[in-house]
Amino acid sequence: KQEVTQIPAALSVPEGENLVLNCSFTDSAIYNLQWFRQDPGKGLTSLLLIQSSQREQTSGRLNASLDKSSGRSTLYIAASQPGDSATYLCAVSGSWGNQFYFGTGTSLTVIP
Amino acid sequence: DAGVIQSPRHEVTEMGQEVTLRCKPISGHNSLFWYRQTMMRGLELLIYFNNNVPIDDSGMPEDRFSAKMPNASFSTLKIQPSEPRDSAVYFCASSLALSGTGNQPQHFGDGTRLSIL
């Protein structure tokens, strides 16, 4: 069974810092990897989706990279803002079946 | 565009009662997913549908849980009888295609927070 790990579980940074969130997965036979953010009491908002053939995706201040062979993805957030405070989850889908396996998330706090 | 709509947002009921959660996917999306989120287990897929047909229900915890999708714009998740350990946030998500093989992201509703007393 695919296992998805996110480190750290929680992160607190001052506003303006660049930061990196990590996601690792055990089975490299993935179709794609998706990064989400979850605000308290809310559902998940899709941030970026990387196909297995891609190395990275960018959206605004966010950049997600994928190293499929090593089972890793990173989410880079540039010039962090208090509004970035949320829980960030990664999820992978692959040849084991048509479903996503989610990590447990990184809780990010950006301090003004 | 309206997103995925779930109802109710909150449900508090007593053990043994029937609970029905509802979901309206994004119009045009042909895949629908039901998830459960708890502190202990994180997000778990319960069941997903493609073109209204259940594809994989292996995540449904017990026979007390059932899900239906009578048409492309509506799905229900039912728990009967409910138990305190069913307390969780239940999310519905939809996508344009089976996300495992396609390049379409999943879009989530705001969830139903279920408390079984």
Phi, psi dihedrals of residue B94, rounded to the nearest 5° = -135, 160
Q: Is the CB of A40 inside 8 Å of chain B's CB atoms?
A: no
Measured between beta carbons, the chain B residues lying within 8 angstroms of A41 are 110, 113
Q: What is the mean pLDDT of chain B?
A: 91
Using a 10 angstrom Cβ sphere, with 0-12 exposed, 13-18 middle and 19 or more buried, the burial of residue A28 is middle
Look at residues B67, B98, B69 and name the one whose alpha carbon lies nearest to residue B80.
Answer: B67
Closest residue of chain B to A54, computed from CA coordinates: B103
Measured between beta carbons, the chain A residues lying within 8 angstroms of B110 are 41-43
Q: Is the CB of A2 inside 8 Å of chain B's CB atoms?
A: no
Pairing of strands A62-67, A56-59: antiparallel
DSSP code of B72? Answer: T
Residue range A41-58: mean pLDDT, rounded? 91
Rounded to whole angstroms, the Cα distance separating A54 from A35 reads: 14
Q: What is the mean pLDDT of chain A?
A: 92
What amino acid occupies position A77? I
Q: Is the pLDDT of residue B99 over 60?
A: no
pLDDT category, A10, cuts 50, 70, 90?
Answer: very high
List Cβ neighbours of B15 (8 Å cut-off, separation of 6 or more): B81, B82, B83, B84, B116, B117
Q: Is the CB of B42 inside 8 Å of chain A's CB atoms?
A: yes
Render pLDDT for B21-67 as a digit per residue (tens, 0 to 9): 999 999 999 989 999 999 888 899 999 898 999 988 888 988 999 99
Q: Do A26 and A103 meet the contact criterion of CB atoms below 8 Å apart?
A: no
Q: Which helix (H) or strand (E) holds A95?
A: none
Buried b or exposed e, range A33-55, using 16+ CB within 10 angstroms: bbbbbbeeeebbebbbbbebeee
Render pLDDT for A75-109 as a digit per residue (tens, 0 to 9): 999 999 999 999 999 999 876 555 778 998 999 99
Render pLDDT for B66-75 as a digit per residue (tens, 0 to 9): 999 999 999 9
Distance from CA of B25 to the nearest CA of A (A): 14
Phi, psi dihedrals of residue B17, rounded to the nearest 5° = -80, 155
Look at residues A31, A41, A43, A36 and name the one whose alpha carbon lies nearest to residue A21.
Answer: A36
Rounded to whole angstroms, the Cα distance separating B58 from B29 reads: 22
